[in-house]
Structure 1
Amino acid sequence: MMTILTTQMSLILLLFLSITTFHKCMCSNHTVVRCNEKDLDILLTFKHGINNSLSMFSRWSTEKDCCVWEEVHCDNIIGRVTEIDLSTYFFEYASVKVLKGEMNLCILDLDLGGVDLHKETNWFQVVNSLSSLLELQLFDYNLNNFLIGTSIRYLNLSSLVTLNLDENNFTSHLPNGFFNLTNDITSLDLALNNIYGEIPSSLLNLQNLRHLDLSNNQLQGSIIDRISQLPNFQYLDISANMFSGLIPSTVGNLSSLKHLFIGSNNFSGEISNLHFSNLSTLFSLDLSNSNFVFQFDLDWVPPFQLYQLSLRNTNQGPNFPFWIYTQKSLEMLDLSSS
């Protein structure tokens, strides 16, 4: 079986064997189209970190300008490498994604596609040096000690707007300062991580947050009061946790909300049309596996049109909820065991 990655590959290889999207940096006003020496060094380091199974890499030779190498693209004005595109190559025997990205240091988006960072020692320092990083995808990397390690205190993500830490088996609580990493973040994913305990109050610092996925953890306490104070939510998934308490009617003030998944928790109390009074853009709703007491007015007409609705394993009472008849755009409806 062909092996693309070596067991002792360099961090450069780790960073580039993934799908990455980068921002083009105007680093000089040179008009000579020639490969930048720094870019050349990085390309060669990357090449040497791979078992040279693809003939394409054997044609990456210093006898030619790297801007004319196969699948390497340079800016026509400044001569900097702006893209490496291996999307046409199919790594059938490698558990890696295709390579696509820019070679200068103005990295904006980084997706490390399933590499086991638990065994790497210097990835944190390199990521921390990317001060312009806007998007960081670190899902399914076995970062089980990351949240409780001392290194997270020194993480510099001041420009970050998207952070995905799904499926890392953290099995820990969220440290108090976790939500202080960046105030500009708009999308945060922490699903499928066995995170337990309560959500730190620092969550309220993320006033620009639009997408939050905390699903499939063991989180406890009352979170909705805090979430209803974050006005820009469009996507909220806290399903499959151990959250409890009442759902305040103020959740109906999240007028930008499109997707709401709060099922499979320990919430209690009433759910009524007041909770949805201003949710005119709501598209998906999951209230399944819950003990809510549903108190919708018989003549209530929701301000939204749902595409997806799950009321599985809920107590809807003796009559079919009349308001569901008003949902003309429904394509998925789950009322099983209700």
Structure 2
Amino acid sequence: MTSLVHLDLSSNNFNCSIPTWIFRLSRLEFLSLANNGMTGTISSDITNLTSIIHLDLRGNDFEGKLPSLIGTQLCKLKVIELSYNKWNQLMSQVLDSLSGCVSDTLESLSISRGSIYGHLTKQIGKFKALTNLDLYANSISGPIPVSWRNLSSLTSLNLAYNHFNETLPEIYGQFLELKFFHISGNLLEGIVTEIPFANMTKLTSFWASGNRLTLKVGRDWIPPFQLDSLDMGSWHLGPRFPLWLRSQKTLTSLGLSNTGLEGVIPSWFWDSFEFDDLDLSNNHLRGRIQKLSKIAAPYSWIDLGHNHFEGPLPSLSSEMTHLDLSNNDFSGSICQFLCKRQGEFMKLVSIDLSHNHLSGNIPNCWSNWKQLASINLNYNKFNGTIPSSLYSLTFLQSLSLRSNNLSGDLSNLGLHNCIQLYILDLGENNFMGGIPGWIGARLLNMKILNLGSNNLHGHISEKLCALSSLHILDLSHNHLSGYIPKCFNNFSVMVSKNAHYYEVFLLNESMSFYIFEEEMYLVMKGQVLQYDENNVRLVTSIDLSGNFLTGHIPTEIVSLSNLLSLNLSMNLLTGEIPQKMGEMRALESIDFSMNKLSGEIPSSMSNLSFLSHLNLSYNNLRGRIPSGTQLQSFNASSYINNSLCGPPVTHNCSTDGPNENRTRFEDDDDDEMFSWLYIGMGVGFAVGFWGVCGSLFLNRTWRHNYFQFLDYMQDRIYVTSIIKMRWIHEKLGNHRHSQY
């Protein structure tokens, strides 16, 4: 097919290197191999594609350097897509490869998330035809070169999430045609005035979040542009709310997160805009919000979290899809908020009301919120039970009710209907009952299961082992008993060494795609740590601490080679630590304290090179602590109240005398015999006592005869003692007379 001009093989699953026959199609003008998982390096034979205009290699696993002759051989190249690969080379090397005749024709260069590093050198000034430059999310650093002034044709610039470290150069003001200006997530510093914006009359999109810039403009400044989208998150704009926003009549997306804003939002703001996306989170804004119905456009995302808003919850628009009011001072019941618009179809997909002062029962009117995929009511003051209408949310994928005062029998909850649940967090409440088997039988998508700090009892159901995608299991601080199931090795995500990502999504009537992520509080490394939505997906943890579990630690658990944290402390576990514990190479935290474990510490544990927290205290362990820098690096408190020797507990193990680190369980073998003796004595006493007293209590005749017998014996003993005493006195008197 040597006459082929257009070849699109994107979004398949070839998973191989680029076949050589492609490079013989010398008439190709368009070639796309995007999103295939292809591997290897780019052969220098690519320079045979001398007719190529549009080359798309994004979304693969290509690595290595670009062939150096691309810039001199592919002189018709206008668009090159290299994003989402693993090039792992200097930015200057990329520009070198594209220098030559290509620098005169190239209009679009995209290398976002391409593992590019180093400085952006002055060579960028050679690409005078560039209208789109996308270097998003690499590791490019250093100053921005003065040669930027040569890129006068730029209409779209994306330098977001790199490591530039200077202020916003005023030469940006020379980009007269610039429409899309994205420099978010760099380390730009300094003060920005009106000057760089003076000539940007065509600017419609300005994304510059994640920098350390300060905007200083006049109070009456009116920008020369009309923006559709503005994101200045992490800039210093406060404390006053920026008045120049009032001039932006077409603004539909606004991000002012973490910008130092204080006080009450002016009333004109709520009346002037209709947002698709509004983020005012992480400021010091306060006051009451009466309603969000006007400001929210259809399918809008509103984030007002981490402020000081107070009063009752505001009324919503039925068109809103994402609402975050977390970490504020909202109070009172949510009945009016949820139930006021009964019968009206609400399009809300995600709601986060966590970390407020909301109280009362959770009302039973969720029936018109059918689209909800994520509900977060953590850290409030709700009481009562989970309402039955919540079980009708068939799209529900994340339910977080942690740290309230909710109650009820867990086995009676109707959540088995919510088969798409992947996060269930009911920790720190007052739920009772056993762990229901339907969790393992029905909720097969479960990735995070937190039932810790409740009043659950019974055994850990082996049906939980069907949750092969489970990342986090927390059953700590309950009243669970029995053995640890051996089938925990079915948690395949904890076995796999590859990181597994997940997201909550919902395709609603508009076919929009939504992603929500969760923060979690986990006991890791001996303390409660908060994991945000960016890293909780990578955490694998099992916490069964603070229960009444018995038996041995199952040897099957050592197959969980991707497990980061294992906490079995404060139980009644016996036996030895599994000998192959060292095969769990990913472990960062182990806590087996306050059990009845015996034997020696397995030598293989010295292979746990990532281990940063270890607690084996208060057991019946004995012998030498295995040598190796890892186990010796912990404080002696990690081993106290055992019969262990060697660093860091003692200098050596040469002495046979009593060890000062004696455990409260060190004499368990001897004490066990005495324990049974004492138990037998107690049981014997109880049987004998109640056998006699119970008979006397139930049988009247026996009771009367028994007390008559006692009276008779008392009288007889008294008379006998009197006669005996008189006989002794008589003998003593006769003895005295004979002496005289």
Name whichever of 230-239 and 105-114 sits farther off: 105-114
Match of 1:241 among 179, 186, 198: 186
Contact kept in structure 1, 2:68 and 2:96, CA below 8 Å: no
Name whichever of 298-307 and 236-245 sits farther off: 298-307
The equivalent residue for 1:28 is none
Residue 37 (structure 2) pairs with residue 95 (structure 1) = yes
> Secondary structure of the residue that 1:226 maps to in structure 2?
helix
Distance in 1, matches of 2:85 and 2:191, equals 35
Compute the displacement of 1:107 (Å).
2.2
Q: Deviations over 1:70-105 (max 9, x none)?
A: xxxxxxxxxx88889999xxx9xx525xxxxxx984
Per the alignment, do residues 164 and 252 of structure 1 end up closer, same or farther by CA in structure 2, a change over 3 Å counting? same
Distance in 2, matches of 1:112 and 1:219, equals 26
Residue 232 (structure 2) pairs with residue 287 (structure 1) = yes
Residue 205 (structure 2) pairs with residue 259 (structure 1) = yes
Amino acid at match of 2:232: L
The equivalent residue for 2:108 is 162
> Secondary structure of the residue that 1:148 maps to in structure 2?
helix
Residue 320 (structure 2) pairs with residue 320 (structure 1) = no
Amino acid at match of 2:37: S
Contact kept in structure 1, 2:129 and 2:153, CA below 8 Å: yes
Residue 309 (structure 2) pairs with residue 309 (structure 1) = no
TM-score (norm 2): 0.32
Distance in 2, matches of 1:297 and 1:120, equals 46
> Secondary structure of the residue that 2:149 maps to in structure 1?
helix
Contact kept in structure 1, 2:78 and 2:106, CA below 8 Å: yes
Per the alignment, do residues 299 and 189 of structure 1 end up closer, same or farther by CA in structure 2, a change over 3 Å counting? closer
Distance in 2, matches of 1:221 and 1:287, equals 16
Contact kept in structure 1, 2:190 and 2:214, CA below 8 Å: yes
The equivalent residue for 1:148 is 92
Distance in 2, matches of 1:186 and 1:8, equals 29
Identity rate, percent: 22
Per the alignment, do residues 154 and 325 of structure 1 end up closer, same or farther by CA in structure 2, a change over 3 Å counting? closer
> Secondary structure of the residue that 2:171 maps to in structure 1?
helix
Q: Which blocks of at least 5 consecutive residues in structure 2 are unaligned? A: 1-11, 39-47, 284-740
Residue 130 (structure 2) pairs with residue 185 (structure 1) = yes
Distance in 2, matches of 1:150 and 1:188, equals 13
> Secondary structure of the residue that 1:301 maps to in structure 2?
helix
Distance in 1, matches of 2:17 and 2:80, equals 24
Residue 118 (structure 2) pairs with residue 172 (structure 1) = yes
Within 5 A, what are the aligned runs for 1:62-73? Answer: none
Compute the displacement of 1:178 (Å).
2.4
Distance in 1, matches of 2:97 and 2:71, equals 14
Match of 2:151 among 168, 189, 206: 206
Per the alignment, do residues 327 and 160 of structure 1 end up closer, same or farther by CA in structure 2, a change over 3 Å counting? farther
Name whichever of 259-268 and 294-303 sits farther off: 294-303
Distance in 2, matches of 1:146 and 1:81, equals 29
The equivalent residue for 2:288 is none
Distance in 2, matches of 1:291 and 1:175, equals 29
Amino acid at match of 1:4: F
Contact kept in structure 2, 1:298 and 1:323, CA below 8 Å: no
Amino acid at match of 1:218: H
Counting strand residues as a fraction of each chain, which structure ranks higher?
2
Counting helix residues as a fraction of each chain, which structure ranks higher?
2
> Secondary structure of the residue that 1:331 maps to in structure 2?
strand
The equivalent residue for 1:131 is 75
TM-score (norm 1): 0.66
Amino acid at match of 1:110: L
Distance in 1, matches of 2:244 and 2:118, equals 46
Contact kept in structure 2, 1:272 and 1:296, CA below 8 Å: no
Compute the displacement of 1:208 (Å).
0.7
Distance in 2, matches of 1:114 and 1:329, equals 35
Amino acid at match of 2:25: I
> Secondary structure of the residue that 1:333 maps to in structure 2?
strand
Contact kept in structure 1, 2:29 and 2:53, CA below 8 Å: no
> Secondary structure of the residue that 2:206 maps to in structure 1?
strand
Distance in 2, matches of 1:129 and 1:216, equals 32
Per the alignment, do residues 173 and 274 of structure 1 end up closer, same or farther by CA in structure 2, a change over 3 Å counting? farther
Per the alignment, do residues 324 and 178 of structure 1 end up closer, same or farther by CA in structure 2, a change over 3 Å counting? same
Distance in 2, matches of 1:201 and 1:84, equals 34
Larger radius of gyration: 2
Match of 2:170 among 219, 225, 238: 225
Amino acid at match of 1:130: L
> Secondary structure of the residue that 1:285 maps to in structure 2?
strand
Distance in 2, matches of 1:194 and 1:221, equals 15
Count of aligned pairs = 261
